[in-house]
Chains A and B, each alone.
Chain A
Amino acid sequence: MGAYILRRLMIALPSLLGISVVLFTVLALAPGDPFEELATNPNVPAEVKLALRQKFGLDDPVYLRYFHWLSAMAHGDWGFSFISRVDVDTLIAQRVPVTLAVIGASQVLALAVALPVGILSAVRPYSWFDRIASTLAFIGFSLPTFFTGVLLILLFSIKLDWLPFVFRADLSASGWQWWWEMFKQSVMPIAVLGLFQGATWTRYVRSAVLDVVRLDYVTTARAKGLAERVVVLKHVVRNALIPVVTLVALQMPAVFGGAIVTEQIFRIPGIGSLLIDAILRNDTPVIMAVTFVFACLVIAFNLIADLLYGWLDPRISYR
């Protein structure tokens, strides 16, 4: 097991290196200039523009810039934002907690919806409950989050005036008041992300459970006279959830990507909105760092999925 993890990590290194080369080249080839606003401002003398470009090494050839970035990264220096003139890691560290909280909560919500609904639908396939659940699930994952987000804002913030739609990371309240305000401002983004994800997962859970529920050992369990609850929870769900767990782990990076849009709509100061801002301002070091974090997440969660799979299903061995 330990050797397996080590081997997988060794394989991950060249992939990360490859990813970084691709990201860096694409960013270098992309149009745009971080000092665009200065370039169009006639009051900024040309010398200052040149000095700034030189200071940030923008005039070096691409491969040189890449090696600078790589060696700095190896030393734990994530780079320096052109726009904010701050180290990139502090920028990212400021944003990560919010994103983790929002995404974590939405994933919990998604599971809390997907598991019971999916299992119930599978246990009684083509019942009324299953039909309604399936229809809702189809609607849920065919509506993109940017649409449902705006829809919720229009309904709950503007028509009903119940919830705020501008997310504030540092609320001034404390104690219960803080929790209540946090709940009010988070409920919409979490619902948007969680229900979207939940809808997809409901379908997966349903089909996974359906596959298992017809197997002979389940019939045997029933024949033994076990209670239906025990049959479903102990015998069916445990086996059916193996592929679902993998899927949840594999989908995590995609969820981070999906959160970008939601963060923009609700003004959540997360890592996704940082990425959008950085792209709009051509702040290459920040774009590079954030996309690199995403790449690391993909690789990490792939590894976690593989490990979980083996742990849940003893038939699989690591070699």
Chain B
Amino acid sequence: MQEREIRALIERVRSGEMPRRSFIQRMVGVGLSAPMASMILMHEGIAQTPAPFNYKPTKRGGGGSLKVLWWQGATLLQPHFANGTKDQEGSRIFYEPLACWDKDGNLIPILAAEVPTRENGGLSADGRSVTWKLKRGVTWHDGQPFTADDAVFTWEYAKDPATAAVTSGVYKDVKVDKLDSHTIKVTFSKPTPFWATAFVAAEGMIIPKHLFGPYAGAKSRDAPNNLKPVGTGPYKFVDFKPGDIVRGEIYTNYHMPNRPYFDSIEMKGGGDATSAARAVLQTGEYDYAWNLQVEDEVLKRMEDSGKGVIFIVEGGDIEFLQLNITDPWNEVDGERASPKSKHFAFSDPAVREAMSLVTDRKSIQEFIYGRTGIATANFLNNPSKYRSTNNKLEFNIEKANQLLDGAGWKKGSDGIREKGGKKLHLVYQTSVNSLRQKEQAVVKQGAQKAGIDLELKSVTASVFFSSDVANPDTYGKFWCDIQMYTTTMTQPDPERFMDQYTSWEVSSKANKWQGRNICRWVSEEYDKTFRAAEAELDPVKRAALFIKMNDLPVQANIVVPLISRPRVRGAATKLVTQLTGWDLDLSGLQNWYRET
């Protein structure tokens, strides 16, 4: 999709011809995130139209207890130290950001009085600063008022390398100034079209200055409140046992009227996904369960008990194949899979294309994932309704055979193709996971029909996804012909995500295999497009560049996208939740209630 087309669509939204939601879905279809699409519209001066949430309770509290099950329990409750989303979710019960993302990518104010726009003077014309007006009358759980000082402190705390906050990436390149007691100004070092990063969503939770003030920097780990959060959220802290349970009770001075509905909340950790699904869907012991990575067949059977339902929330996770274009089996320059070497088969574009053609994504979706996976041809997500026309979901063994014949790969007596004495025998690795092993089998079957022999290999997840320099089986080393895993887009802005095909991120011995370009694919055009996007101020032009970046590696068949994996959550039938694929599950916790 070109810049021109995007602009045409924007005009249609402006004139009211096209609903805002459809525009966002179109953008998501070509691989952008919903928040990014929403930001484009905001930049073009088209106001957000978040669907009003139908909140029925007319008074605070009285809803009993809300019991949620996170089979990977929260291990700490300091959002800036979070080891993963489980910790962010645990912290989010108590802490809040200025704003969060809803399911359509709208920015919803929480601790902000309003979302900054050009009109209300929140956004500067040069794209270098954002002014946030903070909500007045908000108090911390200990009664202290929430002011601009807390936001400024959160920035100082997180950006300090000595604190070792995992959110420092968001805060280290910005400057935050207090304009008055309830106004802050975030200044960027360069014009930034995607400005909603600091103080927004999972990484934006604000911590109280009066409690964390003495513990910034190297002393950060001694803060007693790391384990006893004091925030502004709908529930205040009662008890926490790392990995087991987080408990909170209603905060009666919460800053939104009639909220929260529940008198207490309990987040239980431990166990496994299947039994978590059972506790919500079959026995109703719990109200909500996170991340139910269970086969759809099993989920459906459990849903038949009628106690709970499954929610499928679209997000940005993609399960995909990577084809190695370097030689993973022989050492060149003292390392296997050296960026200087060439793969005997995958350096031939015909073989790569054939690999994509023999991958039966539809079967993978139908027989393995069911509702919990959507076949995709894009590297970024792709709801089937608005499938990008750029990349096709083609499963065609005949065409693959023709391609390989044409490229000189002849079938031998054993049915396996060879060229120049090298047989098309490839090793295909992934992590140990029952769904993944089934996927491997589907791909192997297809490849076999085209004369490509795949040897399947599975590595324990804790080894495969580790950054252990000494281990040959990590995904970062990719000492294998093909590998498969799910990549997650952790931020709505794809800039950090898309750098994984740039030439300076090539994973190699020199950077201890920490480089993000694991395929080691180098394209001058891609580098140029990425640089252009980095410098581009106009969000529409920038979006067009990202769409192009999405298409390049897919069209070169360096990666073969398989399945877009939405979030799978379970909830009791009576529970009304507000879920989004672009923020934490509990980002709308204040609005959750139970229907009577």
Contacts and interface: CB of A to CB of B under 8 A. Distances in A.
B65 A42 contact: no
B83 A38 contact: yes
Interface of A, secondary structure class, is: loop
A43 B203 contact: yes
A161 to B, nearest CB: 6
Given A83-B83, A86-B242, A51 B161 contact: yes
A42 B490 contact: yes
B76 A84 contact: yes
Contacts of B463: 31-32
Contacts of A315: none
From B75, B161, B245, B463, residue with most partner A Cβ within 10 Å:
B75
A52 interface: yes
A269 B468 contact: no
B286 interface: yes
Nearest to B168: A48
A107 interface: no
Contacts of A42: 490, 496-497, 499-500, 516
Contacts of A47: 161, 168
A219 B467 CA distance: 71
A55 interface: yes
B242 A166 contact: no
Contacts of A40: 465, 467
Interface string A234-273: 0000000000000000000000000000001101010001
B516 A83 contact: no
B402 interface: no
B391 interface: no
A45 B76 CA distance: 20
Given A36-B462, A42-B499, A157-B283, A48 B165 contact: yes
B279 A166 contact: yes
B490 A267 contact: no
A158 B282 contact: yes
B101 interface: no
A8 to B, nearest CB: 36
Interface in B459-514: 462-463, 465-468, 470-471, 490-491, 496-497, 499-500, 514
A81 B87 CA distance: 15
Contact of A83 (B76, B241, B266, B514): B76
From B162, B172, B467, residue with most partner A Cβ within 10 Å:
B467
A43 B490 contact: yes
Interface stretch (B22-30, B139-147, B270-278, B356-364): B270-278
A182 to B, nearest CB: 15
Contacts of A157: 283, 285
A37 to B, nearest CB: 4
Interface in A142-162: 153, 157-158, 161
Contacts of B73: 277
A17 to B, nearest CB: 27
Interface stretch (A108-116, A122-130, A167-175, A204-212): A167-175
Contact of A264 (B84, B169, B270, B285): B270
Interface residues of A, number: 50
A277 B243 contact: yes
Given A51-B162, A161-B283, A169-B245, A85 B78 contact: yes
B313 interface: no
A281 interface: yes
A274 interface: yes
B286 A269 contact: no
A22 B317 CA distance: 41
Nearest to B77: A84
Contacts of B243: 84, 269, 273-274, 277
B278 A38 contact: no
Contact of A267 (B78, B271, B516): B271
Contacts of B168: 44-45, 47-48
Given A157-B283, A277-B270, A31 B471 contact: yes
B161 A81 contact: no
B245 A45 contact: no
From B221, B242, B272, residue with most partner A Cβ within 10 Å:
B242
Interface in A1-50: 31-33, 35-48
A94 B270 contact: no
Contacts of A45: 168-169, 172
A166 B271 contact: yes
Contacts of B114: none
Interface string B142-183: 000000000000000000011011101110100000000000
B530 to A, nearest CB: 14
Interface string A273-304: 11001001110000000000000000000000
Given A37-B83, A44-B166, A86-B227, A269 B241 contact: yes
Interface string B220-259: 0100001100000000000101111101000000000000
Given A42-B490, A86-B227, A273 B169 contact: no
From B65, B272, B278, B499, residue with most partner A Cβ within 10 Å:
B278
A164 interface: yes
Contacts of B278: 158, 165
Nearest to A277: B243
Contacts of B514: 39, 46
A4 B502 CA distance: 70
A166 B268 contact: yes
B549 interface: no
Nearest to B71: A267
Interface string A45-75: 1111001100100000000000000000000
Contacts of A52: 164
From A85, A91, A95, A161, residue with most partner B Cβ within 10 Å:
A85
B290 interface: no
A44 B462 contact: no
Contact of B466 (A31, A94, A280): A31
A47 B163 CA distance: 11
A164 B285 contact: yes
B265 to A, nearest CB: 12
Contacts of A168: 245, 266, 268
B299 interface: no
Interface string A155-199: 001100100111011101000000000000000000000000000
A83 B162 contact: no
Contact of B467 (A39, A48, A280): A39
Interface string B44-85: 000000000000000000000100010001011010010110
Contacts of A80: 221
Contacts of B164: 48, 51-52, 55
A170 B76 contact: no
B226 A36 contact: no
Contacts of A269: 241, 243-245, 270
From A52, A86, A265, residue with most partner B Cβ within 10 Å:
A86
Contacts of B247: 170
A158 B277 CA distance: 12
Given A40-B467, A267-B271, A274-B243, 4 more contacts: A47-B168, A85-B221, A166-B268, A265-B271
Q: Which 3 A-B pairs have the closest CB atoms?
A: A269-B244, A84-B242, A39-B467
Interface of A: 31-33, 35-48, 51-52, 55, 80-81, 83-86, 91, 94-95, 153, 157-158, 161, 164-166, 168-170, 172, 264-265, 267, 269, 273-274, 277, 280-282
Interface of B: 65, 69, 73, 75-76, 78, 81, 83-84, 161-162, 164-166, 168-170, 172, 203, 221, 226-227, 239, 241-245, 247, 264, 266, 268-272, 275, 278-279, 282-283, 285-286, 462-463, 465-468, 470-471, 490-491, 496-497, 499-500, 514, 516
25 contacts: A31-B462, A32-B462, A32-B466, A36-B462, A43-B169, A43-B170, A51-B161, A83-B83, A83-B242, A84-B242, A84-B243, A85-B221, A86-B226, A86-B227, A94-B244, A95-B241, A157-B283, A166-B271, A166-B279, A169-B241, A264-B272, A265-B275, A269-B270, A273-B243, A277-B75
